[in-house]
A and B are shown apart, each in its own frame.
Chain A
Amino acid sequence: MRKRPWWKTVVGVILTAVMLFPVYWMINVSLTPARNMRKSPPNLIPIDATLDGYRRVMEQQLPFLGTSLVIGVGTVLLTLVLAAPAAYSLAKLRPRGGSALSFVLLIAQMIPAIIMAMGFYAIYLNLGLLNSIPGLILADSTIAVPFGVLIFTAFMSSIPDELIQAAKIDGASVWRTFISIVLPVSRNSVVTVSLFAFLWSWSDFIFATTLDGGGDFQPITLGIYRYIGNNNQEWNAIMATAVVASIPAAVLLLVAQRYVAAGVTAGAVKD
């Protein structure tokens, strides 16, 4: 079986290096001084590295990063509050019409965000929610809520009925059972859903550009976009912003790799 494992490791490392080259290049360009930016051929390694790009990020992009953080946390909270109780009901209380709701949620995930954005624009224009953080949190949550309900339902279905019955015999109400028994047992899926809700709202560009194009508080994706859109030639600053905007993804992968893989698979194949 394990005849040539090291040979495979070498090939694996090469494949990974090719795959991650754009990420390396992003970091390399972020450290390149402006005078070397148009050099041909470019330096393959950051020889005379500069932190100018990152200094620009600190000067100009911090408000954008802060806004993204607030929107991300808001989206996570809204998603959890909406999705977890509904999933508990679908998984364990099994109301009439529950499967129809699951079906609607599956369909909801298929609708392109650009179309949702257009509908939101028309509604927000009348409600005065354009260019506001709550408006963006609501819009971003539409990506995460259907996913959240489906992940939670899949997980909570596997909680033994005996556990819930026991709580009931001890006199716990349905709500109390949910808060004290079901949620703590489901913390893995809480992590998975929170991670993805945060990552999606952090990465969102469509809702940001359509619903928050002229706001005082704009997320980091618009920060990068405006950098590029201003025909800014300071690519080290642009790439430094991109590196900083990628930090949540990197942290996710380091801290919660198994939850990430679980989320990708659970979205597609029930196990």
Chain B
Amino acid sequence: MTAQLSVPARRVRRRGGWTAWAFIAPVVIYLLVFYAYPLARNVELSVRDYTVRSFIDGTAPFVGFANYRAVFANPTFGPALLNTGLFVGVSILFQFSIGLALAVFFVRQFPLSGMLRALFLVPWLLPLLVSGSVWSWMLNSDSGIVNSFLEAAGIGQINWLTSPHWSLFAVLIANIWIGIPFNLVILYSGLEGIPLEVYEAASIDGANGWQKFLRITLPLLRPVSAITILLGLVYTLKVFDLIWIMTRGGPADSSTTFAIWSYRLGFGSLLPDFSPAAAVGNLLILVALIFGLIYIRTQSRLDPA
């Protein structure tokens, strides 16, 4: 198979070296101008002391790592680190387990299963700003439907968005809701790849449903699970719209993550602090890249093509 394929491939390569690059050149230029340059600009922002004024006249002094030191020393750093960790960790835990349970539920066909599974995609397709506004109103203290259910159940009113104890919970609930479809779809496709015969053999050996799940489903699904979780980590680190529309990271810093903090420094006030904002952003990139590289390594180990 490989030998057969490599002959035409090599012929094409010899003939089309320049042509091949001509097809790629637009994307390469695009990446340089619209990815590499903004990122480089971001690094530059973070090692200089930029203000709105120096943006225009170009006279920002070089300050080295001063912005990063200032960020680490900032009283928001601790809460932001904790909130980012909790937000990402708890989101993934629930998105993954609920997504997996649903995937197991849906993988054996039943009447309407295809249609219902498609409907589950809706939360993932809605604009985040739409989901954020809907959840804001549902979690409204006085007029929200969630509190009126809680009151009917005798629990009483919870200030989801305005109490520092609950704001992180509130954005977590909304984010878990948004992330379930993604986990469901990927895990479902992973489950479809497990041959039915394995389950039938286990049934003949007398395994019950729970044993089959623990001994067959989980181990055989491990590679797909790893990819789902790693991608989830990368996506959840990026979440901004949802938190911003629901709580703006508040009250105080109670739901501020790194993405929110970076935005607030750079764009959240009339006197933007671009340089510390860029420093926070670069820290965020660093974390995202670490998970990203683990993801790419996991994926290429699965699929050494």
Contact for A242 among B133, B143, B180, B240, CB less than 8 A: B133
- Whether, in the assembled complex, A180 has its beta carbon less than 8 Å from a beta carbon of chain B, the answer is no
Residues of B contacting A: mostly: helix
Q: Are A264 and B288 in contact (CB under 8 A)?
A: no
A224–B111 Cα distance when bound, in Å, is 38
* B203: min CB distance to chain A, Å: 11
Interface contact tally, CB-CB below 8 A:
295
Closest residue of chain A to B17 (Cβ to Cβ) is A95
Q: Note all chain B residues with C-beta closer than 8 A to A95.
A: 13, 16-17, 20-21, 24
- Whether, in the assembled complex, A169 has its beta carbon less than 8 Å from a beta carbon of chain B, the answer is no
Size range of the chain A interface in the assembly? 35 or more
Q: Are A110 and B292 in contact (CB under 8 A)?
A: yes
- Whether, in the assembled complex, A47 has its beta carbon less than 8 Å from a beta carbon of chain B, the answer is no
Q: Are B8 and A82 in contact (CB under 8 A)?
A: no
A118-B129 contact given A86-B23, A95-B13, A261-B121, CB 8 Å threshold: no
Q: Are B42 and A115 in contact (CB under 8 A)?
A: yes
Q: Are A228 and B245 in contact (CB under 8 A)?
A: yes
A237–B34 Cα distance when bound, in Å, is 37
Q: Are B177 and A22 in contact (CB under 8 A)?
A: yes
A20-B5 contact given A90-B24, A239-B137, A260-B125, CB 8 Å threshold: no
* Proximity string of chain B (35-55) to chain A, C-beta cutoff 8 Å, 1 when within and 0 when not: 101111110010000000001
Size range of the chain B interface in the assembly? 35 or more
- Whether, in the assembled complex, B116 has its beta carbon less than 8 Å from a beta carbon of chain A, the answer is yes
Q: Are B31 and A93 in contact (CB under 8 A)?
A: no
A145-B27 contact given A119-B41, A205-B241, A206-B241, CB 8 Å threshold: yes
* Proximity string of chain A (111-123) to chain B, C-beta cutoff 8 Å, 1 when within and 0 when not: 1111110111111
A115-B281 contact given A142-B35, A253-B121, CB 8 Å threshold: yes
Q: Which 9 pairs from chain A and chain B are nearest by CB?
A: A119-B38, A93-B20, A203-B127, A95-B20, A89-B23, A110-B292, A249-B125, A115-B281, A86-B27
